């Protein structure tokens, strides 16, 4: 179980961090659009669609990474007060009865939408550029598969927590800039 948790966390982290670079591309793309629109008075017909596609891809492909790090929003005003085993029992039930059916529906319906879209080379109807969107619909399937794999790891975490009475958290791989700056300040003696 631990090996699978580690595998799923690393897979989710790799995809999450890789697709996180879309933020940089979106920034350059939008900066370019602002430049040509307001300085050269020559707006592009494709920029809005491409920004939507990149943002949607970033959002979907980061879901499994966020799940592995416990970053999704949860109404935990009571949950956080419970012992770890009670949390694990509730999480286990919720994963089995809500998470997996929802993710499975995402994968199956995403497959249907993506295959239909690839079949006729679907393009966006929202802009005159006709930006292809069939590849974007495939992201739904990929994101669903990543979520499914990470969900299995979360189930294993629940089982281990029920046995051990403590949560196994993912490896630390990112540190907040504020925390780094505070460490540097403490080390320099300021």
Average pLDDT value for the chain: 91
pLDDT band at 128 (very low <50, low <70, confident <90, very high): confident
C-alpha dihedral sign at 14, 15, 16, 18: positive
Q: Is the pLDDT of residue 173 over 80?
A: no
Residue 187 lies in a domain: no
Burial label, 184 (beta-carbon count in 10 A; 0-12, 13-18, 19+):
exposed
What pLDDT does 106 receive? 95
pLDDT of 190 reads: 65
Q: Which residue has the higher pLDDT, 94 or 70?
A: 94
Residue 115 lies in a domain: yes
Residue 181 lies in a domain: no
Cα separation, 139 vs 146, in Å, equals: 10
How far is CA 70 from each of CA 64, 120, 172, 173, rounded to the nearest angstrom? 10, 39, 12, 13
pLDDT at 178 over 90: no
**Could you tell me the sign of the dihedral formed by the alpha carbons of 102, 108, 111, 112, in that order?**
negative
* pLDDT exceeds 90 at position 181: no
Whether 182 is covered by a domain: the verdict is no
Strand partners, 132: 123
Cα–Cα distances in angstroms (integers) from residue 146 to residues 6, 12, 14, 22, 102, in the given order: 14, 7, 11, 18, 13
Whole-number pLDDT of residue 95 = 96
Looking at the domain assignment, is residue 183 inside a domain? no
Which pLDDT score is estimated for 14?
A: 94
Beta bridge partner(s), residue 123: 132
Residue 60 maps to a domain: yes
pTM of the model: 0.85
Asked if the model's pLDDT at residue 186 lies above 70, the reply is yes
**Domain enclosing residue 134, as ranges:** 2-70+79-169
pLDDT digits (tens, 9 = 90+) for 29-81: 999 999 999 999 999 988 888 888 999 999 999 999 999 998 888 777 888 88
Nearest alpha carbon to residue 173 among 73, 72, 76, 66: 66
Considering the domain boundaries, does residue 160 fall inside one? yes
- Residue 111 pLDDT: 96
The answer to whether position 16 is within a domain reads: yes
Instruction: Give the chain's domain count.
Output: 1
Dist CA 12 CA 7 (whole Å): 9
């Amino acid at each position: 179980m631990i090996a699978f948790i580690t595998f799923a966390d690393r897979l989710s982290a790799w995809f999450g961090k890789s697709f996180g670079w879309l933020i940089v591309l979106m920034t350059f793309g939008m900066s370019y659009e602002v430049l040509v629109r307001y300085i050269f008075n020559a707006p592009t017909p494709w920029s809005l669609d491409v920004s939507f596609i990149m943002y949607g891809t970033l959002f979907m492909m980061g879901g499994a990474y966020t799940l592995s790090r416990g970053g999704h929003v949860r109404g935990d005003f009571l949950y956080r007060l419970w012992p770890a085993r009670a949390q694990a029992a509730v999480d286990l039930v919720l994963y089995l009865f809500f998470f997996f059916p929802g993710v499975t529906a995402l994968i199956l319906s995403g497959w249907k939408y993506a295959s239909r879209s690839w079949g006729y080379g679907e393009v966006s109807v929202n802009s005159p550029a006709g930006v292809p969107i069939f590849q974007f619909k495939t992201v739904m399937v990929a994101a669903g598969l990543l979520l499914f794999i990470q969900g299995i790891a979360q189930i294993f975490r629940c089982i281990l927590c029920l046995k051990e009475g403590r949560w196994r958290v993912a490896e630390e791989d990112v540190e907040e800039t504020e925390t780094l700056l505070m460490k540097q300040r403490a080390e320099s003696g300021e």
